[in-house]
Chains A and B, each alone.
Chain A
Amino acid sequence: MHVPYCRTRCGYCDFNTYTAAELGPGVSQASFAGDLVTEIDLVGEQWHPEAPVDTVFFGGGTPTMLPASDLVGVLDRIDEVFGLASDVEVTTEANPESVDYDYLAELRSGGFTRLSLGMQSASTAVLAALDRAHTPGRVQRVVAEARAAGFQRVSVDLIYGTPGESDDDWRDSLNAAVEAGVDHVSAYALTVEDGTAMAAAVRRGKLPVPDPDIAAARYEVADEILTGAGFEWYEISNWARPGQQCRHNLGYWDVDAQWWGFGPGAHGHVGDLRLVNVKHPKLYAEELAADRLPLAEYEVVSAEERRLERIMLSVRLRRGVSPWSDSARQVLEQLVAEGLMTRVGERFVLSRTGRLLADTATLRLAEADA
């Protein structure tokens, strides 16, 4: 569920999201949940997955810009149309400053099971550089409020490699996340995406180009601290306490899994199709008002492309890959010899060094016979 609203736009962010000022009149945040419900109904007429839905993820944007009742209402509609599995995982992203106890309690009682907080950093300077609105202490309080509201599963997102961030800033951020008592951490190297304010600042020389070597060192620090605190990496940028892996994330990296993306610019994956909705909320609302699925484009993934996706996605995971041919085995053994992989039983898993060079590993494996 892509909710394309934010109070302000962060300089590094290239997601499909809009502030009220950017959208102007004519697009109503108030009617957005209604649009999502319409889309769910339309999709439900055409798509009939065999099993009930086992994970729902509200992302954005800032889904918690909408009233909690809106989010719950959308979830209810998914249940009515597609059915929710008894152990369904329901996550929403939230900005620390956008939620409080009452809000979270309403979500929890409405069926939400997991909260993912955009913490990014514990350093005031880094948060400012990222245009984030919250203050460092806010995250700890929100985690406590979430626990009190009944959320047992809370995750934080962190960003490393922001211009001006020091090694110590990064260590402090990791320790603050651990101390806040979360059970899941996603840590991402800052990427300067085209079209963002940050990209413009880098181009004008106002910000330095992020150094990939610094990012590599920060990653290693993250892996050390989080592993030391009882987390395990289960994907290149994701760590969890045992049993707390995000089921939704794992779905993205399983090339055989299917999902539908609702909301403007949302991506779906059904059979051999990758689908994308129209990006702009206004166009999205117009398509739905005309009783049309708001699809912008779709791509039919060929067998060859699927093969590359399978390699690219499966190497990212802790469970790793098992050799599918003699030449794949040779490449895997060579990658072990070079220190990029380790062998775990019959499977081959990226080493810490290898996780940072996953593209190299993927390309090498893609050369192996099918």
Chain B
Amino acid sequence: MTTGQQHSRSAVNTPGSTPAEAIRNFCIIAHIDHGKSTLADRMLQLTGVVSDRQMRAQYLDRMDIERERGITIKSQAVRLPYQAGDGRDYVLNLIDTPGHVDFTYEVSRSLAACEGAVLLVDAAQGIEAQTLANLYLALENDLLIIPVLNKIDLPSAQPEKYAAELAHIIGCDAADVLRVSAKTGEGVADLLDAVVDLVPPPAGDPEANPRALIFDSVYDPYRGVVTYVRVVDGALSPRERITMMSTGATHEALEIGVISPEPKASAGLAAGEVGYLITGVKDVRQSRVGDTVTSAARPAAESLGGYRDPRPMVFAGLYPIDGSDYPLLRDALDKLKLNDAALVYEPESSAALGFGFRCGFLGLLHLEIVRERLEREFNLDLISTAPNVVYRVIMEDAAEHVVTNPSEFPQGKVAEVFEPIVRATILAPSDFVGTVMELCQQRRGTMLGMDYLSEDRVELRYTLPLAEIVFDFFDQLKSRTRGYASLDYEPSGEQASELVKVDILLQGEKVDAFSAIVHKDKAYAYGVALTARLRELIPRQQFEVPIQAAIGSRVIARETIRAIRKDVLAKCYGGDISRKRKLLERQKEGKKRMKMVGRVEVPQEAFIAALSTSGETTQK
């Protein structure tokens, strides 16, 4: 893949004037723990971007430096000047890809910024479902794939076996699978040479009106939004007005630069180059992943395509335990939104929980991240309701309701209910095929197909209702396969299902936060399991508390929490006093994590318990 043309080292090394033939844009597709960060570290060292002395493990993931420099450097895109084995100078742009199923769309945009991908697989573990899914995405984007086994220095490595597996999956020869140890550096130089030789240089038109793909955008408290772009056609220069093609909004490009590995302003970015731009906007929504940037003065006729609004898949109510924290929660969400284009929320109120927000997330991990940041960074104590998906309810009079909160499921004559479904890929050792099939069956899955990746590893493909996997499916899958199975899924439209709303009543009062939408055939088991679970989770009160599950006015399950009669410790002498006081202090703290629902004190966990009891978990 050489052009026979020599470029001067200075031209190659100057951002804004690097000839496309000298550029290789690539990413590393890997499962967490398979060594992506360590490999990136080695590449930084080997290309001299970071000296051995400066090298600290996993340089690009370091957070303290981000604060020191006042800019968020992540490994979104690093420019690596590299003199290859052929003696010529190249620029390798290593583009990072997020590693989780919630962020499939973001991954697809990162891949779209590349011409090649290093498929990095742990030689002791083999490929995982998410890696496989990202590999398929890379193939859809026509990326050149370089298969690599990492950790060949491990005694437990089985390079022959997993090379054969990789060769089978991507349809190459097992001998073409490179072997490296990111830890020792063995094979990394050969890998960089392979990137130069095999990955095609970018093919855009340097003379056309500019078009650049946004593959990431990050809010930085000092600089505002930092937008990461891959220039496809034309060139971008600082002080130029740029246009976001999805919205038509224009901004001034205050600074354009590259990261190598510190951010460094440049005279511009030429076709094929990768870098960042800063416009001074404060909200990542102004600079959306997947959007096309063009010049306001010389606008491109068409965008690069593939842009999609982030679509929340999972909803949950977030409520402050202390109702007076509501304004703090609102301010905190407003701040988080600046760095999270996918987060949506609107105020809602619950009879049980008071004032809060119904928030939409890309998936469960996203929910967890947001909730954890709210609690950690903003010091809020929150109750999260059980997560749910979005339902489309068609009434007999053809009226349509979109339900993001189960308690708002319409009463009356419902003609049809649609729920979102996903296409799931599960990789598991062949010993566990039966177990996995059983689980998917219980979760109303429909099998699409099954393939043996190797003698003892199987890929199963299913259509599953999103609602069935949103809560504990992954945990169940892991526990039933002793941790060996991996999962990936992507949205796949919707299906009509026979769904009903199950309400929970405490002391005869409906608790909206406990309402759930459940398949008709599972409603009874769900009601029995949830009332039993709530009886365990809700502490005994000074009075008896009946718990009922009901569909409409029909009660399907009932439990009773008997009134507490004794909580005092009989003995309280000299040595007991400190211990007893500390016990009471802990109880006092515990009470703060309780929510008063009517007269009943309900602990936080009870609100999450709702979906974890669906069906099979009760048989454990």
Contact = CB atoms under 8 A, between A and B. Distances in A.
Interface string B24-65: 000000000000000000000000000000000000000000
A355 B565 CA distance: 10
Q: Which of A187, A253, A267 has the most CB of B within 10 A?
A: A267
A356 B562 contact: no
B620 interface: no
B574 A261 contact: yes
Nearest to A160: B570
B572 interface: yes
Contacts of B578: 274, 299, 301
A276 B576 CA distance: 11
Contacts of B573: 249, 252
A249 B584 CA distance: 21
Contacts of A172: none
B565 A363 contact: no
A340 B575 CA distance: 27
A269 interface: yes
Contacts of A265: 575
Interface in B538-577: 542, 562, 564-575, 577
Contacts of A217: 565
A261 B588 CA distance: 29
A345 B357 CA distance: 49
Given A219-B566, A357-B564, A360-B542, A309 B571 contact: no
A312 interface: yes
B322 to A, nearest CB: 13
Interface of A: 187-189, 191, 212-213, 215-217, 219, 236-237, 249, 252-253, 259, 261, 265-269, 274, 276, 299, 301, 305, 308-309, 312-313, 316, 338, 340, 353, 355-360, 362-363, 366
B584 A188 contact: no
A219 B581 CA distance: 23
Contact of B567 (A188, A253, A276, A357): A357
Contacts of B542: 338, 340, 357, 360
A217 B569 CA distance: 15
B173 interface: no
Given A213-B562, A276-B575, A338-B542, A357 B568 contact: yes
A216 B562 CA distance: 13
Contact of B584 (A216, A312, A340, A355): A312
A309 B565 contact: no
B581 A267 contact: no
B574 A267 contact: yes
A356 B569 contact: no
Interface string B404-431: 0000000000000000000000000000
Contacts of A259: 574
Nearest to A188: B570
Interface in B578-592: 578, 580-581, 584-585, 587-588, 591
Nearest to B540: A212
Contacts of A237: 570-572
A357 B568 CA distance: 6
Contacts of B591: 363
Nearest to A236: B568
A164 to B, nearest CB: 19
A253 B572 contact: yes
A265 B542 CA distance: 37
Contacts of A312: 572, 577, 580-581, 584
A267 to B, nearest CB: 4
B564 A313 contact: no
A309 B577 CA distance: 8
A191 B570 contact: yes
Given A265-B575, A358-B568, 16 more contacts: A191-B571, A216-B566, A237-B572, A249-B573, A252-B572, A252-B577, A253-B572, A266-B575, A267-B577, A274-B577, A309-B581, A312-B584, A313-B572, A355-B568, A356-B566, A363-B588
A217 B565 CA distance: 9
Contact of B566 (A212, A266, A274, A308): A212
A60 to B, nearest CB: 12
21 contacts: A188-B570, A189-B566, A213-B566, A236-B568, A237-B570, A237-B572, A252-B573, A253-B572, A261-B574, A267-B574, A274-B578, A305-B581, A312-B577, A316-B572, A338-B542, A359-B567, A359-B568, A359-B569, A359-B587, A363-B587, A363-B588
A265 B562 CA distance: 39
Contacts, number: 95
A174 to B, nearest CB: 15
A269 B578 CA distance: 11
B565 A212 contact: yes
Contacts of B584: 308, 312, 359, 362-363, 366
Contacts of A299: 578
A233 B568 CA distance: 15
A305 to B, nearest CB: 6
Interface residues of B, number: 23
Nearest to B585: A308
A358 B587 CA distance: 13
Contact of B565 (A216, A249, A261): A216
A236 B570 CA distance: 7
A347 B577 CA distance: 23
Q: Which of B568, B570, B585, B588 has the most CB of A within 10 A?
A: B568
B566 A215 contact: yes
Contacts of B567: 212, 356-360
Given A253-B572, A363-B591, A356 B577 contact: no
B570 A189 contact: yes
Q: Which of B565, B574, B575 has the most CB of A within 10 A?
A: B574
A316 B566 CA distance: 14
Contacts of B572: 236-237, 252-253, 312-313, 316
Contacts of B571: 188, 191, 237
A252 B574 contact: yes
Contacts of A216: 565-566
A252 B576 CA distance: 10
Contacts of B588: 363, 366
B79 to A, nearest CB: 57
A236 B567 CA distance: 12
Contacts of A267: 574-575, 577
Closest 7 CB pairs of A and B: A216-B565, A358-B568, A188-B570, A267-B575, A216-B566, A359-B567, A356-B566
A305 B580 CA distance: 11
Nearest to B573: A252
Nearest to A189: B570
Contact of A313 (B562, B569, B577, B585): B577
Nearest to A305: B581
Nearest to B567: A359
B374 to A, nearest CB: 26
A366 B567 CA distance: 16
B532 to A, nearest CB: 19
A262 to B, nearest CB: 12
Interface in B51-100: none
B570 to A, nearest CB: 4
Contacts of B575: 261, 265-267, 276
A188 B573 CA distance: 12
Contacts of A308: 581, 584-585
A211 to B, nearest CB: 10
A58 B285 CA distance: 74
Nearest to A366: B588
A187 B570 CA distance: 8
Nearest to B574: A267
Contacts of A360: 542, 564, 567
Nearest to B583: A359
Given A312-B584, A359-B587, A366-B584, A269 B564 contact: no
A234 to B, nearest CB: 13
Nearest to B580: A312
Contacts of A252: 572-574, 577
A308 B580 CA distance: 10
B453 to A, nearest CB: 45
